Amino acid sequence: MDKLRRYILSNLSILFFSIFLPLFAIASVIFMIKLATYTAVIQLSIMEMAKLYLFVLPELLFYTLPIAFVVGSALTLYRLSNDNEMVVVFSLGISPNFIARVLSVPALLLSLLLLTDFLLVTPYIKIISANFVDHKRAEAKFNLTASEFGHSFGDWMLFINKSDAQTHAFGDVVLFNKTMKDEILITAKNAELLNNKGVLQLRLRDGESYSYDDQTFKKMLFKIAYINDMMSSEDTIYRDPIDYWTNSDLRARKDQRLITNTLLSLFPLISVFLVIALGVVHARHQKRWIYLWLFLSIIGFYAAAILIQKWLGFHTIWVVSLVWLLITYGFYKRLVGQRF
């Protein structure tokens, strides 16, 4: 029995990594494309891009590992069945329940790893990643230079004709704002960019302000004026996972993630019967559309995990898990248990 267990797991490991690595590579490429959108707003060095990639690594693993395990396990059994090895195993009097017990151990370990990933690791990673991006955006705001295209400065459009990158001093500055009741145009001969405790201030000297609407036109001269823009909020403080998941910040989104990610973490464990039902076949008498059924099963489970919570809330976790177990066990008994 021990040799059979090792044999099944060795075959599973080969197929698991052959599926996981391409999935992980595709997910990484998608993240790199998303990362490219950051570079349109902030400047990132190679080391900073690598740092952002490390931040998202736990999330990439969370979404690729369960799919790779379920697909790899089913294809492992399917390949052994096509080689008639599973028929030999069952002809020796070994029950399909033994296969279920063999697969349940790595499935349980993987589910525990996924729960640890999203409950303990991901909260900390998300906070330090958000703080890092906020700092980079703040630096991008602080690095204003002369440009014919202008800059976004809060609600203002800022046009700079002369600039000194080292002193953050500017000349011939124009600001335009049309989000207020009156459209406002401001010109200044000189300007200086200041960081006042997290508030980005543009100090204007020797300028004119114009405000106008459909009926009035106003003009004002000034010696010194300040335009404020929040450079960034203070860093989000991470205390512990319990505080992260229980505080009221983004409560609705956290509840959704708790429900969905808990079900995705349990997916490998509660899909053991599905894996056996799809993978164990009699090569001469049964031809199953295993790839189609795997695809439909994964889509169906993920859709249930996301959609049903709109009506059931946290009850979605046990309802979906129980229904999934009953359905997959029914397929297991009908397709495998009664035949072998």
pLDDT in tens, 35-45: 777 666 666 77
Q: For residue 44, what pLDDT is reported?
A: 72
Rounded (5°) CA angle 160-180-233: 70
Residues 6+ apart with CB under 8 A from 325: 270, 273
pLDDT in tens, 278-320: 988 876 655 668 889 999 999 999 999 999 998 999 999 999 9
The single-letter code of the amino acid at 227 is I
Burial 25-59 (b: 16+ CB within 10 A, else e): eebeeebeeeeeebeeebebeeeeeeebeebbebb
CA distances from 160 to 41, 140, 168, 190, 191 (A): 18, 15, 11, 10, 9
Distance of CA 60 to the CA centre of its chain: 7
Burial of 217 (0-12, 13-18, 19+ CB in 10 A): exposed
pLDDT at 183 > cutoff 90: no
pLDDT in tens, 77-120: 999 888 888 878 887 778 888 999 999 999 999 999 999 999 99
- In eight-state DSSP terms, residue 121 is I
Per-domain residue ranges for the chain?
Answer: 2-139+251-337, 146-230
pLDDT above 90 as % of the chain: 37
pLDDT at 71 > cutoff 60: yes
